[in-house]
Structure 1
């Protein structure tokens, strides 16, 4: 049970999970749906003090603790645009501080993916950028920040999810590059993270024919053991991305995925959406594989030992966490968001606008309730601010005398978004465009790119528009 790390539904710990923790379940993954607070974490630790409690708290678009209001920290792309490694370290430290306050062991961050494909539907602004050296230095800074606060960091999604056009939540992406390109482009951030002492790495559900033409990385011994353990020298905890993701779930049942991942070299099996029956199924499959000789007992023991080693590392960092709790760097998120803004044009707002939110769909890693925050930030300045939402292929609303702020996401990736922007600009040349993702070329009377979604990014944009 040490190697299983499930999530669960609901705002209270289910009885089956309590029992499993008492029986030695090695970890739990928390999501916004669990209403995370100190009481919840205490109730988990009461059953198993050494359990690895994990969370995706990347900052920016992917936040579990601040999903309703938006993150207090800009995400990786914004940090990469600002390109101040000390600022990234400070942001990482404050995110680590938040998790230390809650007694959370492990942050599934940072994304060390090099976003080399602009059409990437699942990484995008979650990456520090498209250049290996940029991503490597900010990955190290973020890892140092989080782990300097006494919380384990996790570089993901090995060996790199940046050159994909498929979301692995939905299907299996294939990375069509040579091994040499992978080594030069995608691996440097992971090498750098390992050199910085990152405690965990998460595998990506990716098919990379140059490495293994048959199996996704998570299930490939060539990738997980020969490359990551052997060539790169990583000896920390290797955790899978969630195994209910269709990239692997369409291939095998949960139990077989777990057995294959453990055989490949994984130490912890992440199951983001889980019920008691699934845990039992996976446990029984692992036991049967050991008994039949399909999964060597020593491989399972090695995996469990690495999970325990991470838990023991966390327990030994209590002094760092106490120091971090006293080290409140309250303005660092907004400072970083301001540094990341790129702007064009001169238009400003002096009265309440109509905000038109162009509703591109966020990827599955983003909690559905996460707001762009632009409307809220402008409403705080102009209480009569109005908002309408434009769906794909929807009709543009009637644009009256009010100033118009058009909020888009990833205009560079979506032709229909660019067409919507062009249509509004043609009708209202005075429109202000705010892009919260990877932006297209500037247009409108003013163009503001936040390079990510967060509460502070929205605040920084609103400040600039009302300067």
Structure 2
């Protein structure tokens, strides 16, 4: 076997992260090396919209082939890029149960992504929220009912296509039942094949709707592959099930190849060869791209990986990149889109208990339960800034307003509210029984705050949900749109 003439680097998408201290400079060497090797594209994390446009324009113009410029935009382009429009979590949108809203969310996300030069969106999440103890999915899924999730996944895919970007249903064949985080371990889903039809329903729906790509889960499913391989490394799951039974013909992409659910302490290079052999087409987030390329080339040479399999992956990658191969075009972050996004965020809020109200003079009590992992939680500045913008005075002698931040986060290791955070809320609400408590997390966690008589749930702690809470409590929704432009993250 020979790898001559095969640019296997095109199967890799390294990550590029914005730093508030030095912009893209920390990744400049990786960018230069990636372009030199001929990687298939890059995954972008963070950055203001002008800086993102400048980078993607450069990448598109300098590459010798069409690039896939990708990003995790489950919550809209504003999830990553400051100045673009942020959206509520998928669970909040799913709870509204309006496919037209979901379709518009997909269209808006794609339209703004393309305006920034991003052509591949890692969304929608097609997992079903079937396990309340799941530490990684939760509000990222559209809901708990497979048929309803399938409806919203298809709507989002249709909207994304109309907006002009590639969609990606993830994490196949379903991460919604796990009680482990595949960033740090390989979870196993131990239910029978018939039960897994619930997990598969949204992926079947996505395929019928024309989804461009499917991202694999670093999760084992013995009912689908008795050998215990994670889906990313399983021919039975990726070829027999996804390709042949479901009939998906698009791009199959790994979740990040640095995750322990895939490598299990081994090398990303070895796992990459196994993933390609199993049926994956694109490898995400290599830390050592050169080592992966060398190992893939060696595997083609010694027969562990067929040239035909690699050619197939290269053909699919090229076709996907060429579908939307262009520099940035259009604008993002417009007032009309922001008003719509804030409106659906406000509509999604849930009163879990009592009558949440806001006094004119408050003492803001923040209960932080989102620490842990390599990345900081969402900034908390949108909540106090929005309160002040709405005319609410924040003072030490004011009535307490309790904000509990307890998002689903990778590496956090749990979905619920910690005992320490619960105790802080209990102490405040026992001393001030009429205090309003805002839970920036899934409404189902309300039972973990039993002493909160007046409880409003906001699905997540991102800026748009902080703004939505203030808009709901004060009736100043329209007046917060301009403020939102500076508080996107």
Conserved 8 A contact 1:70-1:371 = no
CA distance in 1, matches of 2:321, 2:189: 34
TM-score by length of 2: 0.84
Q: How big is each residue's C-alpha offset from its partner over 1:110-168, in whole Å with a ceiling of 9 and x where there is no partner?
A: 11110111111111111111110121111111111122110111110111111111111
Q: CA RMSD in A?
A: 2.9
1:350 aligns with 2:362: no
**Aligned match of 1:152:** 166
**Aligned match of 2:140:** 126
For structure 2, the residue ranges without an aligned partner over 5 or more in a row are 1-8, 19-23, 409-414, 476-489
When structure 1 is superposed on structure 2, of 76-85 and 208-217 the one drifting more is 208-217
1:414 aligns with 2:414: no
CA distance in 2, matches of 1:325, 1:426: 42
1:458 aligns with 2:466: yes
CA distance in 2, matches of 1:105, 1:225: 26
Which contiguous aligned blocks of 4+ residues in structure 1 show a shift greater than 4 angstroms? 33-36, 321-328
Where 1:202 maps in the other structure, the secondary structure is: strand
1:380 aligns with 2:380: no
**Aligned match of 1:254:** 268
Choose which of 113, 128, 131 in structure 2 pairs with 1:117: 131
**Aligned match of 2:486:** none
CA distance in 1, matches of 2:349, 2:371: 21
For structure 1, the residue ranges without an aligned partner over 5 or more in a row are 387-398
CA distance in 1, matches of 2:394, 2:95: 30
CA distance in 2, matches of 1:3, 1:181: 34
Q: How big is each residue's C-alpha offset from its partner over 1:383-424, in whole Å with a ceiling of 9 and x where there is no partner?
A: 6426xxxxxxxxxxxx95533323242698235144443332
CA distance in 1, matches of 2:401, 2:11: 52
Aligned CA distance change for structure 1 residues 58 and 161 (closer, same or farther; 3 Å)? same
Conserved 8 A contact 2:358-2:436 = no
**Aligned match of 1:39:** 54
1:371 aligns with 2:379: yes
Choose which of 107, 124, 129 in structure 2 pairs with 1:93: 107
Aligned CA distance change for structure 1 residues 33 and 335 (closer, same or farther; 3 Å)? closer
1:200 aligns with 2:221: no
Where 1:239 maps in the other structure, the secondary structure is: strand
Choose which of 422, 430, 433 in structure 2 pairs with 1:429: 433
CA distance in 1, matches of 2:223, 2:320: 32
Aligned CA distance change for structure 1 residues 401 and 22 (closer, same or farther; 3 Å)? closer
CA distance in 1, matches of 2:361, 2:102: 34
Aligned CA distance change for structure 1 residues 305 and 362 (closer, same or farther; 3 Å)? farther
**Aligned match of 2:201:** 188
Conserved 8 A contact 1:63-1:367 = no
